[in-house]
Structure 1
Amino acid sequence: MHIAAYQIILITIYAFIAINDSLISNTLTQPAIAGMIAGMIMGDLKTGLMVGGTLQLMRLGIAAFGGASVPDYFTGAVLGTAFAVISGKGAEYGIGLAVPVSLLMLQLDVVARFCNVYLLHAIDKAIDQMKLNRIPRLVLSGSLLWGLSRAIPILLMLLVGDAAVTTITENMPEWLMNGLRTAGGVMPVVGVGILLHYLPTKQYIPYLLLGFFLAAYLQVPMLGISIIGVVAAMIVFKRDSEKISQVQNVTTTGTFEGGFSGDE
């Protein structure tokens, strides 16, 4: 299958809009959403959901804290879906191609952030010099550069085709690819560890052990564990709500004696 010109244009426009949306809602850049939209444009929604959903699992627990950058699974989902449909090799091929692309695109995220830092200093200088008319243009320039940081690479890769991307990844040194694979495998673990550190994990250790037991020993699929997690969350929510109601009832019905007009 050959990609049509209108498909290239639509995917490029979507990439530009989505990466700017990540500064506000971070919805359109979710790999599952990106794979779905790319699949709709390419005419294969199923493949898009499979590629995007798999990358979404890799992205869980990963966040760009401070100035840190993370693998660009958004671009990986878009290009992986597009190339999976073009090649006709299925979602497995798209996922295999999307992972190294996500790791390589990490560097362009750093470049885009660097450009915006330069513009930020220009805005500070304009404020010091009271040249307020320059500020809107500089802000819009930052948004333009941020959008082009994903739109241009995606446009170029769609134009040259999947063969060029495969050639680049296959000709990279083995030690570098092993390092990228190791980093890609460690990052989700680190991200989940950070989330568990900030969540009230100690209160829900039995549920964590239950989920581990179901996954490791009974081989329950992820969907089944998710359903059990929803049921557990509903039980905990109902229990906590009943406790709050009991406390409120005691507070409203209790009587206080002594003092002046019962104020003690």
Structure 2
Amino acid sequence: MHVTLIQAILIAGVVALSNLDGNFFGEMKFREPIVTGFLVGLILGDVKLGLLIGAQLQIIWMGATGIGPTAQLDIGAGGTIGTAVAILTGKGAEVAITFGLPVAVIMQFLNTFLMTSYSVLMHRVDKLIDGLKEKQMIFIHIICGMITASMYAVLTFIVIYFGNNAIESVVKGLPDWANNGLNAVAVILPALGFALLLNILMEKTLIPFFIAGFAITAFSGLNTIAVTLLGVAAALFVYLLGTNKIAGISSTHAGGEEDEEL
């Protein structure tokens, strides 16, 4: 699939938007692969495939969390470029992962370099703070943000527009053993993403619900929406039980305590 000039510019704009998210727009979650996947699919004319690949990348990166000084992967750029390459080459999530993960690492290094280079302006900003010159401080903040977003957009445009043929040649030239390996990785990485997420969130009291959810998903034949609704119902029940808002159970529990005291 050949990418047009307008499509390459729009995809570059999506990457720039993902970078501005968190810096200028608060936490609007524009950088999440499920969002960028939809936007890339819309631009390239295959929303369904874009959403599908974005959702698969979302599962992988759900557990990727930056803790302390550890830099998080740049999922905005990685997810966008990975999804674009997968759609342009007619491949699935395995190709999106192949190109998305290295891009996420490289762009994070670029972002760290740019943030470090901006530190030379901090002495200037300190003086502006002492002089209460708010407008000039805001101007410096906006300029630095625009430079970063522009760098992201330019690099993405170059990769997508000028490197499209080279990327397609690389993907089509992969041997069968490499394709099989990528397919296996595409299956394993979502499980790894969930494992990383559970490592952060899991509590012993939630293990029974985890087992129940796995059993329902694996053996009941229900689709994802139905299992999600069951999970929401279970979470709501636990919340109401914990806050004593279920009248029958809370009153019975209270009555039992009074009987024990008597």
Q: Distance in 2 between matches of 1:72 and 1:168?
A: 23
Cα distance change of structure 1 residues 66 and 128 upon mapping to structure 2, 3 Å threshold? farther
Tell me the alpha carbon deviations over residues 202-227 of structure 1, each in whole angstroms, 9 at most, x when there is no partner: 33232133235556x74978826434
Verify the 8 A CA contact 1:109 1:149 in the aligned structure 2.
no
Which residue matches 2:29? Answer: 27
Contact kept in structure 2, 1:54 and 1:95, CA below 8 Å: no
CA distance in structure 2 between the aligned counterparts of 1:103 and 1:186, rounded to whole angstroms: 18
- Contact kept in structure 2, 1:108 and 1:149, CA below 8 Å: no
- Kindly report which structure 2 residues correspond to 1:179-194, keeping only aligned pairs within 5 A, or say none: 189-194=195-200
Partner of 1:9: 9
Distance 1:73 1:233, change over 3 A: same
Q: Give the structure, 1 or 2, with the largest relative contact order (CA under 8 Å, sep 6 or more).
A: 2
- CA RMSD, aligned part only? 3.5
**Cα distance, 1:47 vs. partner?**
1.6
After superposition, the Cα gap between the structure-2 partners of 1:46 and 1:118, relative to the gap in structure 1 and judged at 3 Å, is farther
Q: Structure 1: how far apart are the matches of 2:220 and 2:115?
A: 42
Inter-partner Cα distance in structure 2 for 1:202 and 1:41: 44
Question: Cα distance, 1:86 vs. partner?
Answer: 2.1
1:92-171 to structure 2, matched below 5 A, reads: 92-128=94-130, 132-164=134-166
Q: Secondary structure at the match of 1:193?
A: helix
Taking structure 1 as the reference length, the TM-score comes to 0.71
What is the TM-score with the length of structure 2 in the denominator?
0.71
Q: Which residue of 2 aligns with 1:256?
A: none
Whether contact under 8 Å (1:12, 1:151) holds in the other structure is yes
Q: 1:121 to 1:205 in 2, by over 3 A?
A: farther
1:175 equivalent in structure 2: none
Q: Distance in 1 between matches of 2:135 and 2:42?
A: 41
SS at match of 1:63: coil
Aligned partners of 2:100 and 2:66: how far apart in 1? 19
Per the alignment, residue 260 of structure 1 pairs with none
Question: Are the counterparts in 1 of residues 20 and 149 from structure 2 also a CA contact under 8 Å?
Answer: yes
Does the 8 A contact of 1:61 with 1:195 survive in 2?
Answer: no
Q: 1:75 to 1:168 in 2, by over 3 A?
A: farther
Number of aligned residues: 231
Alpha-carbon distance change, 106 to 18 in structure 1, aligned in 2, over 3 angstroms = closer
SS in 2 for 1:125: helix
Q: 1 CA distance for matches of 2:201 and 2:119?
A: 28
2:41 aligned to which of 39, 48, 60: 39
CA contact (8 A) 2:74 2:107 kept: yes
Quote how far apart the aligned CAs of 1:43 are: 0.7
* Percent identity for Structure 1 against Structure 2: 26
CA shift, 1:69, in A, is 1.5
User: Closer, same or farther in 2 for the Cα pair 1:188/1:128, shift >3 Å?
Assistant: farther
Q: How does 1:196-215 map to 2 (within 5 A)?
A: 196=202, 201-214=203-216
C-alpha change, 1:125 and 1:17, in structure 2 (3 Å) is same
Q: 1:39 deviation in Å?
A: 0.7
Q: Which of 237, 241, 253 lines up with 1:239 in the alignment?
A: 241
Distance in 2 between the 1:69 and 1:128 partners?
A: 31
State the SS of the aligned residue for 2:152: helix
Query: Partners in 2 of 1:142 and 1:152 — Cα distance?
Result: 15
